[in-house]
Amino acid sequence: MSANFLSAKCRVRADLDGWGTCAIEPISAGETVAAFGGRCVSRSALDESGERPTHSVQIDDDLFIVTENGAPPGETIGHSCSPNCGIVGGILVVAMRNIAVGEILSYDHAMTMGCDLDEFRCACGSPACRRMVTGRDWMLPELQIAYRGFFSPYLAKRIGGRVRLDAERRAFAI
Ligand SMILES: [Zn+2]
């Protein structure tokens, strides 16, 4: 039994830059394609132990789901700066649009990453590639618009807070 879920409409392909997942059946917008599972670990516990997990997903300001080494099915959805999937509820990977057979599934780590733990250089090939994916990318206005409804809840809360703060500043001319 894997700690993760991957839809039967997808297949893991080892030939995709080490690992990746593509659709083997058409997937409709809004369908769940994967779910993350594993150990829940705080950032302070990771820092104290010196552990730098190969596969982790941030689910709160100071909380990560960590998967042991290997490439369990639900964690084979790679990053793209022009993704076809988004994050719902922090752990579900959901199709943002209809996905055709053969398309590689991806989400943008800006949807989950709110700190510097997993920052990385990107060469996803998208014209919109940011080259460097950081824990501050969720702040980019264009991503906040493009990924509305597909951010991890803790990031959506941060974004909502900032929007309210900006509106209050305007209203009170602070
Ligand atoms: Zn990229």
pLDDT of residue 167: 72
pLDDT of residue 53: 74
- d(CA 107, ligand 1 centre) in Å: 11
- d(CA 110, ligand 1 centre) in Å: 11
- d(CA 82, ligand 1 centre) in Å: 7
pLDDT of residue 120: 93
Could you tell me which residues are beta bridge partners of residue 6? Answer: 34
Q: Tabulate helix, strand, coil % of the chain (nearest 5).
A: 25, 25, 50
- pLDDT tens for the chain, 174 residues: list them: 677 889 999 998 877 665 789 999 999 999 999 999 888 999 999 888 887 777 789 999 999 998 776 556 667 898 999 999 999 999 999 999 999 999 999 999 999 999 998 899 999 999 999 999 999 999 999 999 999 999 999 999 999 887 677 777 777 765
Cβ atoms of residues 101 and 27 within 8 Å: no
- d(CA 121, ligand 1 centre) in Å: 8
> 3-state class of 103 per DSSP?
coil
- d(CA 77, ligand 1 centre) in Å: 14
> 3-state class of 85 per DSSP?
strand
- d(CA 108, ligand 1 centre) in Å: 9
- d(CA 124, ligand 1 centre) in Å: 4
User: Which pTM value belongs to this model?
Assistant: 0.89
- d(CA 3, ligand 1 centre) in Å: 27
**Where is 63: in which H helix or E strand?**
strand 63-67
